[in-house]
């Protein structure tokens, strides 16, 4: 097999990395809200950032991952199309 083509284009790999970073950002947004004293309840655990924004960011990252894997990206003008 002399043909050395990869399953994913460089543009697809970049989208894959961006999707991963977006998902990591969502998990970072979800972190925190705990309490150092177990007998004290902390209502910061139920704020907008952790219940709405962070899951939406994670879902956006998953959508980017799906597009990166399933999408077909055209090669640039300077590359050979064999």
Give residue-wise pLDDT tens across range 19-64. 999 999 999 999 987 778 888 888 878 899 999 999 999 999 999 9
Residue 76 Cα distances to 51, 59, 73, 80, 81, angstroms: 41, 29, 9, 9, 9
Does residue 1 fall inside a structural domain?
A: no
Report if residue 5 sits inside a domain. Answer: no
How far apart CA 27 and CA 22 sit, in angstroms, is 9
Residue 8 per-residue DSSP state: S
Asked if residue 65 belongs to a domain, the reply is yes
Instruction: With respect to residue 76, please indicate whether it lies within any of the assigned structural domains.
Output: no
Q: Does 49 fall in a domain?
A: yes
| Residue 41 within any structural domain of the chain | yes
Domain count along the chain: 1
Whether 56 maps to a domain, the answer reads: yes
Which pTM value belongs to this model?
0.77
Range of the domain at 35: 10-70
Q: Specify if 81 maps to a domain.
A: no
């Amino acid at each position: 097999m002399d043909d050395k083509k990869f399953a994913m284009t460089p543009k697809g790999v970049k989208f894959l990395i961006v999707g991963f970073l977006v998902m990591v950002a969502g998990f970072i947004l979800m972190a925190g809200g705990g309490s150092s004293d177990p007998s004290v309840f902390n209502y910061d655990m139920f704020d907008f950032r952790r219940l709405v924004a962070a899951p939406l960011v994670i879902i956006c990252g998953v959508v980017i991952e799906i597009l990166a894997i399933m999408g077909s990206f055209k090669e640039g003008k300077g590359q050979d199309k064999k």
